[in-house]
Amino acid sequence: MDIEGLQKRIKTTQDLRSIVSTMKSLSAVSIIQYDAALKSLVEYGRTINLGAVALMKNGDLKLPKETPVKPEAKRALAVVIGSDTGLVGKMNREVVRFAEKFLTEKGFKIEQTAFIAIGRQIIAQLMRDERNLVESYPVSNSVKAVSKTAASVLITAQEHIQTERTTHVYIFYSQKQGTGVVPTSSLLMPLGTEWLERLKNIGWPGHNFPTYTLPPEQIFSALMRERLLIELSTAITDALSAEHHMRLTTMQAAEKNIDENLEAMNLEYQQMRQENITTELLDVVSGAEALRMQKKK
Structure confidence by residue, pLDDT tens digits, 133-177: 999 998 877 788 898 999 999 999 998 888 888 889 999 999 988
Residue 296, pLDDT > 70, answer: no
Decide if pLDDT at 23 tops 80: yes
pTM to 2 decimal places: 0.83
The pLDDT of residue 170 is 95
Asked if residue 43 has pLDDT above 70, the reply is yes
What sign does the CA torsion over 28, 94, 173, 123 have? positive
Q: By the 8 A CB rule, do 95 and 80 touch? A: yes
Asked whether residue 143 is domain-assigned, the answer is yes
- Answer whether residue 65 shows pLDDT above 70: no
Q: How confident is the model at residue 196 (pLDDT cuts 50, 70, 90)?
A: confident
Q: Is the peptide bond before 68 cis (omega within 30 degrees of 0)?
A: no
Mean pLDDT of the chain: 86
Domain CATH code at residue 116: 3.40.1380.10
Whether residue 151 is contained in a domain is answered as: yes
DSSP E strand stretches across 93-226? 114-118, 132-137, 168-177, 180-189
Confidence grade of residue 90 (pLDDT, cut at 50, 70, 90): confident
Element (H, E) at 159: helix 143-164
Residue 131 lies in a domain: yes
Judged against a pLDDT cut of 90, whether residue 185 lies above it is answered with yes
Spatial CB neighbours of 46, under 8 Å, sequence gap ≥ 6: none
The answer to whether residue 276 is domain-embedded is no
The number of domains in the chain is 1
Structure confidence at residue 84 (pLDDT)? 85
- Please check whether residue 97 lies inside any domain of the structure: yes
pLDDT exceeds 80 at position 68 = no
pLDDT on residue 286: 73
The rounded percent of the chain whose pLDDT value lies above 90 is 31
Answer whether residue 41 shows pLDDT above 80.
Answer: yes
- Closest to 173 (Cα-Cα) out of 255, 74, 252, 242: 242
Taking only the tens place, the pLDDT of each residue in 206-258 is: 777 788 888 888 888 899 899 999 999 999 999 999 999 988 888 888 889 98
Residue 96 is part of which domain span? 31-245
Q: What pLDDT is attached to residue 66?
A: 65
pLDDT attached to residue 297: 60
Give the Cα separation of 213 and 60 in Å (integer): 12
Lowest-confidence pick of 40-49, 84-93, 116-125: 84-93
Q: CA 169 to CA 113: how far, in whole Å?
A: 10
Dist. CA 258–CA 253, nearest whole Å: 9
Phi and psi at 88, nearest 5°, equal -125, 25
Taking residues 58-78, what's their average pLDDT? 75
Amino acid, single-letter form, for residue 5: G
